[in-house]
């Protein structure tokens, strides 16, 4: 977390407040550095059109403005330095080395000696770089030495300076990034951090001298304009102030949760939930609005999810939770009666209701949940449709929330002990995972979508042990059966052209289970499923082989790290762009999820739960999601589809069941 400098002043000169916090894991910090470098590589790989032309024009404009002010003193400095032999070489190496060394040494020193300050120091450093990278991408600027006819000497290349563009090691570095000067920016940031932590006069004097020397060097070597240094000052001020403001915002929504606020659209609502069937035969009555309200009211004090709503973000201030003044119980807890002429409406009517609710966005002016009581489903059967926005919890978190409402133990015991690898293995796995995510295949074409929120929804209940036994006999796992069966059913009922390989997003648990677990603790891994003509047993064998990446863990570690740690350092506008860029139809065809559920009998009031089915949102630009909840001996499966792709969810489930028969 970030810490505020003072309750009354957030300027650069205010000292950091010491926090009683644990030191973050060192391997996670290394991964953060790699992720920041990956952002640089992404920007470098995807420049805006005509970058070099615009960079030269921008460089000419800056130099022209300085000449208009009669403050263009870079050229005389550069020509003087070019004639100084050893001093020119020393300046070149100061330019190439000291700003990096000073920043890294400071980070290590704060990590080791001042762990209570480290998170804010690290976050402000990340902000410095993210703001600078955004400027490099949007406003490329060529340095003075690259301007034709300006008369500057490239002292670094002239001196063949090792470690700079004069040597092969960084020959391909982005040289069109003069504004702002990160050399001055990093040196100034070091000075600011030292002043805020130690406050020693000697330390501040030495650091200030380093900033002034760096300023002289960047100008004399022909690498920057003095306006670049001024831009660096603005970036450092903004970065430190943003870090301070973010620290004071204790209700900030974590980036891994805000992700689903950014990607949501009217065509792709992002709420998760459960379709819960209740046995009403023993009670002789049906559940009521009053029972549901009383049950939830009893949990309001300890469950902020029910009490808080969104505070809108700005470009720089992220989404936050604020206390709702009141709850509209008629909206949060509606009652639907599906019976017609005294007869139950049946499961088809329940599926139609769920499809309608799943296609409606939850209004953002109130707490993001609904608890719908449904009567008239079947004889002695009622239902509850529980919906929670994905920014509040993922599938596992939603189940935990409902279990708490039902006064039942959460899923911590059902998940069992999750063995986490050691730090070195996590670091190695994270590095490998980032590389794997960057090189993973992209989907082959896009599936048919209607660009609307219309949904088809269906459910299927099977015996869980039978499905597990079927998977074991085929040398596969339940998730493999779900993936292969999904591909087989889609081949038989889906409309439009299908790819030769279906790229499915499979959510995995990416954080250690803990009591009361909420928020988003999963990470997605992509699995390729063959879609060609073949015996279904061969398709299952191919999926079992391809899904080994689910058990490797490296992609899940990297995905969780990027979503939870790196994204927290992004400004909201950049995080929104990032979320919409990496999530949806451009990266996968659909979602397939297999989640654990309660293995014990659960009751709502006096109504035993028959089973619970998952409700999972369709990702933007994709036409389907398939989910399974292993609930009290049941393989409880649902499918939600875009009608343009699969017009009848019931047909899909029928074909899925036929595929299981072929496996057997």
**CATH classification at residue 563:** 3.30.559.30
32 found inside a domain: no
Domain boundary (248, 282, 315) is at 248
SS3 160: coil
**CATH classification at residue 336:** 3.30.559.10
Report how far residue 256's alpha carbon sits from residue 147's, in angstroms, rounded to the nearest whole number.
Answer: 44
4 found inside a domain: no
Residue whose C-alpha is closest to residue 3's, from 150, 117, 92: 117
Which distant-in-sequence residues (6+ apart) come within 8 Å of 235 by Cβ? 128, 131, 132, 135, 180, 185
Domain boundary (227, 248, 269) is at 248
Residue-wise DSSP of 525-539: EEEEEE-SS--HHHH
Report how far residue 253's alpha carbon sits from residue 247's, in angstroms, rounded to the nearest whole number.
Answer: 12
Q: What is the DSSP letter of 253?
A: P
Which distant-in-sequence residues (6+ apart) come within 8 Å of 578 by Cβ? 567, 570
Same-domain status, 552 and 658: yes
Same-domain status, 448 and 520: yes
Same-domain status, 501 and 645: yes
Q: How far is CA 9 from CA 5, 29, 195, 351, 592, in A?
A: 7, 29, 15, 56, 50
In terms of Cβ atoms closer than 10 Å to its own Cβ (0-12, 13-18, 19+), residue 120 is: buried
Three-state SS annotation for 380-426: CEEEEEEEEECCCECHHHHHHHHHHHCCCCCCHHHHCCCCCCCHHHH
Same-domain status, 195 and 312: no
> How many helices, marked H, and strands, marked E, lie in the chain?
24, 14
Residue whose C-alpha is closest to residue 616's, from 455, 467, 460, 461: 455
447 found inside a domain: yes
614 found inside a domain: no
Same-domain status, 279 and 234: no
pTM exceeds 0.85 for this model? no
Domain boundary (193, 213, 248) is at 248
Residue whose C-alpha is closest to residue 331's, from 360, 294, 375, 369: 369
What residue ranges of the chain have pLDDT lower than 70? 1-22, 157-174, 198-200, 245-250, 316, 409-443, 509-523, 549-565, 569
Report how far residue 115's alpha carbon sits from residue 392's, in angstroms, rounded to the nearest whole number.
Answer: 30
Same-domain status, 198 and 302: no
Same-domain status, 240 and 264: no
Cis peptide bond upstream of 180, omega within 30: yes
Cβ contact 107:252 at 8 Å: no
Report how far residue 435's alpha carbon sits from residue 38's, in angstroms, rounded to the nearest whole number.
Answer: 10
Same-domain status, 332 and 453: no
Beta strands in 64-182 (DSSP E): none
- Lookup: tokens for 182: 């990160």
Name residue, tokens 């069937």: 277
| Phi, psi torsion values for 571, nearest 5 degrees | -65, 150
37 found inside a domain: no
Q: How many domains does the chain have?
A: 3
Same-domain status, 437 and 473: yes
Secondary structure of the chain: what % helix, strand, coil (to 5)? 50, 15, 35
Residue whose C-alpha is closest to residue 391's, from 316, 292, 318, 327: 318
Q: What angle do CA 590, 594, 596 make, to 5 degrees?
A: 155
End-to-end CA distance of the chain: 52
Residue whose C-alpha is closest to residue 143's, from 202, 209, 226: 226
- Lookup: tokens for 122: 């690290």
Other beta carbons less than 10 A from residue 564's beta carbon: 20
Q: What is the DSSP letter of 69?
A: T
Provide the b/e sequence for 76-114 (b: ≥16 CB within 10 Å): eebeebbeeeeebbebbbbbbebbeebbeebbeebbeeb
Same-domain status, 486 and 469: yes
Q: Look at strands 522-530 and 501-509 and give their pairing.
A: antiparallel
Q: What angle do CA 180, 184, 189 make, to 5 degrees?
A: 105
SS3 224: coil
64 found inside a domain: no
Q: What is the DSSP letter of 177?
A: B
What's residue 366's pLDDT?
A: 92
Domain that holds residue 207: 71-248
Same-domain status, 263 and 238: no
Q: Look at strands 590-596 and 501-509 and give their pairing.
A: parallel
618 found inside a domain: no
Residue whose C-alpha is closest to residue 243's, from 8, 569, 19, 14: 569
Same-domain status, 340 and 224: no
Report how far residue 99's alpha carbon sits from residue 188's, in angstroms, rounded to the nearest whole number.
Answer: 9
| Phi, psi torsion values for 509, nearest 5 degrees | -65, 125
373 found inside a domain: yes
- Lookup: tokens for 80: 């003087």
Residue whose C-alpha is closest to residue 434's, from 320, 331, 561: 561
């Amino acid at each position: 977390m970030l810490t505020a400098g003072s309750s009354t002043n957030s300027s650069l000169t205010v000292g950091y407040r010491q926090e009683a916090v644990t030191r973050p894991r060192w391997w996670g910090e290394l991964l953060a550095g790699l992720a920041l470098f990956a952002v640089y590589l992404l920007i470098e790989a995807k420049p805006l059109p005509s970058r070099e032309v615009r960079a030269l024009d921008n460089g000419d404009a800056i130099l022209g403005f300085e000449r208009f002010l009669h403050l263009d003193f870079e050229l005389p400095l550069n020509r003087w330095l070019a004639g100084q032999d050893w001093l020119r070489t020393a300046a070149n190496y100061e330019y190439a080395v000291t700003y990096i060394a000073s920043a890294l040494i400071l980070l290590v020193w704060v990590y080791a000696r001042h762990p209570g300050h480290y998170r804010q120091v690290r976050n402000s450093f990340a902000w410095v770089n993210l703001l600078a990278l955004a400027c490099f991408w949007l406003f490329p600027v060529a340095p003075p030495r690259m301007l034709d006819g300006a008369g500057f000497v490239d002292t670094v290349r002239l001196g063949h300076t090792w470690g700079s563009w004069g040597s092969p090691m960084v020959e391909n570095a982005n040289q069109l990034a003069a504004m702002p000067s990160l050399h001055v920016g990093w040196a100034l940031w070091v000075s600011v951090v030292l002043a805020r932590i130690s406050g020693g006069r000697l330390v501040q004097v030495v650091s200030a001298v380093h900033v002034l020397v760096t300023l002289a060097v960047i100008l004399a070597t022909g690498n920057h304009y003095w306006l670049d240094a001024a831009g660096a000052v603005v970036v450092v001020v903004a970065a430190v102030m943003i870090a301070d403001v973010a620290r004071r915002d204790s209700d900030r929504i974590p980036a891994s949760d805000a992700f689903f606020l950014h990607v949501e659209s009217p065509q792709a609502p992002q709420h998760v939930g459960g379709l819960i069937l209740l046995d009403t035969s023993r009670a002789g009555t049906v559940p009521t609005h009053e029972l549901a309200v009383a049950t939830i009211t009893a949990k309001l004090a300890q469950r902020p999810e029910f009490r808080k709503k969104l505070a809108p973000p700005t470009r720089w201030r992220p989404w936050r939770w604020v206390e709702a003044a009141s709850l509209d119980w008629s909206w949060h807890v509606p009652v639907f009666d599906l019976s017609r002429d005294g007869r139950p409406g049946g499961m088809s009517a329940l599926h139609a209701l769920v499809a309608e609710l799943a296609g409606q966005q939850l209004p953002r002016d109130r707490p993001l949940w609904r608890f719908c009581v449904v009567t008239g489903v079947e004889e002695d059967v009622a239902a509850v449709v529980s919906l929670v926005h994905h920014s509040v919890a993922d599938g596992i978190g939603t189940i935990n929330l409902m279990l708490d409402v039902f006064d039942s133990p959460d899923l911590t015991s059902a998940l069992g002990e999750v063995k986490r690898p050691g730090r070195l293995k996590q670091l190695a796995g994270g590095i490998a995972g980032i590389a794997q995510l960057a090189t993973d295949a992209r989907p082959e074409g896009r599936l048919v979508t209607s660009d609307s929120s219309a949904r088809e929804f269906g459910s299927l209940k099977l015996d869980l042990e039978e499905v597990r036994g079927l998977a074991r006999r085929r040398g596969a796992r339940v998730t493999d059966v779900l993936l292969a069966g999904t591909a087989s059913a889609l081949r038989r009922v889906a409309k439009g052209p299908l790819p030769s390989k279906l790229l499915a997003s499979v959510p995995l648990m990416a954080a250690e289970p803990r009591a009361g677990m909420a928020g988003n603790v999963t990470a997605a891994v992509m699995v390729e499923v063959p879609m060609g003509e073949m015996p279904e047993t061969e398709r299952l064998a191919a999926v079992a082989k391809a899904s080994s990446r689910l058990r490797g863990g490296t992609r899940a570690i990297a995905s969780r790290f990027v979503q939870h740690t790196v994204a927290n350092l992004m400004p909201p506008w950049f995080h929104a762009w990032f979320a919409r860029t990496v999530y949806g139809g451009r990266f996968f065809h659909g979602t397939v999820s297999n989640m654990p559920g309660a293995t014990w009998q659960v009751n709502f009031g006096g109504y035993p739960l028959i089973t619970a089915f998952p409700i999972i949102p369709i990702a933007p630009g994709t036409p389907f999601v398939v989910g399974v909840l292993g609930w009290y001996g049941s393989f409880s499966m649902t499918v939600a589809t875009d009608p343009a792709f699969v017009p009848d969810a019931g047909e899909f489930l029928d074909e899925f069941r036929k595929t299981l028969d072929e496996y057997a």
